[in-house]
Amino acid sequence: MAWKVWFVPAQPNHVAKFVPLKEAMRRRGCEIHTLCVDIAIPRRKSIRAMLEAAGEPFEMFPPCGFRPFERWPFELVERHRLNRAVRRWLDSHEVDLLVFGTDTPIVTREFIKESLKRRVPRVHVHDGLCGGPNPQLRPGPLTRAHYAVSDWLTKVFDMRAPRYERSADLFFVMDESSPPTLLRQGVPAERIKVVGSAQYDALARQVEKGPSDDELRRWRETIQAPPGRPLLLYAHQHITRTRDVRGLIRTQVAAMRRCGGTLYVKFHPSTGGRLDDWRRWAAGEGMTPADVIFGMKELLSIEAVQLCSACVTAYSTVSLEAMLCKKPLILIQYLKVPVMLRYGQDYGVPEAFTPKQLEDRIVAVMTDPAARRQAIENGKTCLQKELRGLDGKSTDRMADEMIALIRRYHE
């Protein structure tokens, strides 16, 4: 009898991350199912839309009217209703393994708690780089204060991840920088497996083929890029102060004016704000559509990276995609992922800590062939030495670990 494996995407991007892993589990004789959690927040529609676009069969979790944080005094009652719905679903389905992504919403947490009671094996797929302070750096006073307060709160109030979130049988992580973060959260060391990334296995194969001319032309039309002008990608995420973002955009626009190019600002959906507001701000600053384009969901990040000539970011996923695509990468000062910061320190990937440094380095990688070649070579070295798990075999490693886990539960 085929084992029944249920994948539970917690974010829209988990849909794509799970695809190669599902294929690997099917090849091993498993019956694959996808559960789309249905809660009353906008993200739910995005997950469903991604699943429908991928043509994957899926089951919607029965709606239970749960609205986290919207009716705070009644949250305990809402949680109780949600928990009952989760129990009913688990009682009516045969489940041999549950596979979760990271950043789990409230519904997924209830599934984790109830599956723990029923001794259903659970796997968490951490398909990115875990953040945290880097002891090799000398952060500014605000950053030092932030880490000091965070450490104090963790010690005084034991603000580790709840026990049920630390209870997964396996935690798949991509590289050696991730285990320390999970260990601080109370995850047992023996449950953490450095396996690489199934998503980047698939991305590497996609990058090898490269986009066609028709795809590049369609992507340019999608973001309404001016014809004939080189593009610089600024992939924005997790910078909370609007004035910092505005300063970065001003600097990059100034650099691209020197290069005769256009800045493409791609905001993360969770942190970007309203694009119309940004366009009005840019117009007030004297920036034209030939200077800067604002976008959010029009292109996937890997498509944006392939379309543009270089990439500026503080976002670890986009950084890895840029190196995989052999595009010059400039890291900016807000990045908190230790392994990504080591790229700049150990391998010469350009880092920018002041507006002048950022502008000069953009101009260099956009106009100087030698600087461009060196930046690409440094990124290639980083991938080979720091992320040895990205060797094209991550998917098989993860699938073999999951099959072994199911067998242990059925012995």
Residue 244 sits in the same domain as residue 120: no
Report in angstroms the alpha-carbon separations of 300 from 101, 235, 297: 19, 11, 7
Residue 176 sits in the same domain as residue 283: no
Residue 370 sits in the same domain as residue 237: yes
Residue 375 sits in the same domain as residue 395: no
What's the whole-number mean pLDDT along residues 43-69?
65
Which residue range is the domain that position 252 belongs to? 210-386
Residue 240 sits in the same domain as residue 165: no
- What pLDDT, on a 0 to 100 scale, did the predictor assign at position 130? 42
3-state secondary structure of 92: helix
Closest CA to 341 of 141, 137, 183, 181: 137
We report the CATH number of the domain holding residue 179 as: 3.40.50.2000
Residue 193 sits in the same domain as residue 214: no
Residue 397 sits in the same domain as residue 281: no
What's the whole-model pTM score? 0.71
Structurally, the chain folds into a number of domains equal to 2
Q: What is the mean pLDDT of the chain?
A: 77
88 in a structural domain: yes
Q: How far out from the chain centre does Cα 108 lie? A: 18
Within a 10 A sphere around the Cβ of 115, how many other Cβ atoms? 22
- What pLDDT, on a 0 to 100 scale, did the predictor assign at position 43? 41
Give φ, ψ of 161 to 5 degrees.
-65, 145
Confidence band of 147 (pLDDT split at 50, 70, 90): very low
List the beta bridge partners of residue 330: 312
For residue range 84-105, list pLDDT tens digits in order.
888 999 999 999 999 987 655 5
Closest CA to 4 of 47, 34, 36: 34
Amino acid found at 31: E
- Cβ atoms of 126 and 176 within 8 Å: the answer is no
For residue range 296-326, list pLDDT tens digits in order.
888 888 899 999 999 988 767 788 888 888 9
